[in-house]
């Protein structure tokens, strides 16, 4: 029984290794190209006048930096056995801080865009800029504790890990991550369904109080956002479930095999989470005619 479990773990480790060695760089290229296209398209003058476009720009900037702070580090460590963060404390703290910050900012900008689509909060783009800047500064300061309370931890002989300090702080990070994931999922679900209800209503009636909110461009922004919300929610749900499991079982005595399996599952969940970050552009191309037309104009240099 023990030998069969060890063989299974070895196979799973090989799967993770090749997933990150081969699939990781492919996903990274897809994500980099996708974020770049999104940024170029949403920065076009015809779209930039819409506040939702500003939130999409911020969302893709956060995704871009998340790819190069989280996914790149995972590819190097899990796929190529290269992990500079276990040799340098500054690199360790910066990597954990950047991963946590940009993951939070990505969800934050998506929530802001969802709120904008529901209430059409302002036709003034300056309002969107102010909200993005103030919110970004808040989360930058809020997550600064990671720069102090993360460390290089020795797990066992000759094996080190860049992680959050054990004890109360690790519990805090665990609860924070669970609350963030669940809150994000709930808010995105509520505002996503609400915005789609608004689309159906505006398609059937003329909104005299705010005719601009009934424009085809607004409806396409709402639909792109709704698809992004669904993708983010589906891919984040798996990791949220894993975090809840970890928090429930944190005080249990676990065998080495169980710890290894949890590391494997965590790496799978993290790879799964990165997929949603990398495919936003391609879903936009599928669901929005306006987005496709703007992308074609850029490709043809018109």
Query: How far apart are the C-alpha atoms of 38 and 44, rounded to whole Å?
Result: 10
Query: How far apart are the C-alpha atoms of 261 and 7, rounded to whole Å?
Result: 12
Q: At CA 274, angle to CA 194 and CA 165, rounded to 5?
A: 105
Q: pLDDT tens digits, residue range 231-262?
A: 988 888 888 888 888 888 877 887 888 888 88
The pLDDT value given to residue 208: 46
Query: How far apart are the C-alpha atoms of 187 and 195, rounded to whole Å?
Result: 12
The pLDDT value given to residue 236: 85
> Closest by alpha carbon to 274, among 86, 107, 24, 95?
24
Contact between residue 20 and residue 75 where contact means Cβ atoms under 8 Å apart: yes
> Closest by alpha carbon to 291, among 89, 23, 38?
38
The pLDDT value given to residue 67: 96
Query: How far apart are the C-alpha atoms of 299 and 254, rounded to whole Å?
Result: 54
Taking the CB of residue 182, how many other CB atoms lie within 10 A of it? 15
Q: What is the dihedral of CA 109, 181, 250, 271, to 10 degrees?
A: -70
Backbone angles phi, psi at 94, to 5 degrees: -65, -40
Helices (H) and strands (E) in the chain, counts: 13, 2
**Domains of the chain in sequence order:** 2-84+102-121+165-299 (1.20.1070.10)
Query: How far apart are the C-alpha atoms of 121 and 218, rounded to whole Å?
Result: 13
The pLDDT value given to residue 213: 47
The pLDDT value given to residue 64: 97
The pLDDT value given to residue 70: 93
Task: Specify the pTM.
Answer: 0.89
Query: How far apart are the C-alpha atoms of 94 and 158, rounded to whole Å?
Result: 23
Per-residue CA distances from 219 to 117, 199, 230 (Å): 9, 6, 17
Low-confidence ranges of the chain (pLDDT < 70): 1-2, 120-123, 198-215, 300-302
DSSP letter at 164? E
The pLDDT value given to residue 206: 44
Contacts of 224 (CB under 8 A, 6+ apart): 56, 283, 284, 287, 288, 291
Query: How far apart are the C-alpha atoms of 192 and 194, rounded to whole Å?
Result: 5
The pLDDT value given to residue 47: 84
Query: How far apart are the C-alpha atoms of 64 and 26, rounded to whole Å?
Result: 15
Contact between residue 86 and residue 160 where contact means Cβ atoms under 8 Å apart: yes
């Amino acid at each position: 029984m023990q030998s069969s479990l060890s063989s299974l773990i070895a196979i799973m480790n090989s799967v993770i290794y090749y997933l990150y060695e081969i699939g990781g760089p492919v996903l990274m290229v897809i994500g980099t190209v996708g974020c770049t296209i999104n940024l170029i398209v949403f920065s076009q003058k015809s779209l930039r006048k819409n506040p939702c476009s500003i939130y999409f720009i911020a969302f893709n900037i956060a995704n871009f930096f998340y790819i190069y702070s989280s996914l790149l580090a995972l590819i190097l460590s899990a796929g190529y056995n290269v992990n500079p963060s276990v040799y340098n404390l500054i690199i360790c703290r910066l990597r954990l801080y950047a991963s946590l910050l940009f993951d939070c900012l990505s969800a934050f900008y998506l929530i802001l865009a969802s709120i904008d689509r529901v209430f059409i909060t302002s036709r003034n783009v300056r309002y969107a800029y102010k909200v993005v800047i103030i919110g970004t500064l808040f989360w930058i300061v809020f997550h600064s504790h990671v720069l102090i309370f993360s460390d290089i931890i020795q797990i066992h002989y000759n094996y080190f890990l860049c992680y959050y300090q054990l004890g109360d702080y690790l519990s805090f990070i665990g609860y924070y991550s669970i609350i963030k994931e669940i809150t994000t999922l709930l808010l995105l679900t509520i505002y996503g369904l609400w915005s789609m209800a608004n689309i159906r209503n505006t398609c059937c009636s003329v909104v005299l109080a705010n005719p601009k909110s009934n424009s085809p461009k607004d409806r396409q922004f709402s639909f792109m956002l709704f698809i992004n919300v669904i993708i983010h929610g589906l891919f984040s749900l798996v990791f949220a479930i894993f975090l809840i499991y970890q928090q429930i079982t944190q005080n249990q005595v676990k065998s080495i095999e169980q710890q290894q399996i949890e590391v494997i599952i965590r790496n799978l969940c993290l790879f799964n989470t990165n997929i949603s970050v990398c495919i936003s552009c391609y879903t936009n191309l599928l669901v929005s005619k306006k987005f496709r037309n703007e992308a074609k104009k850029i490709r043809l240099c018109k």
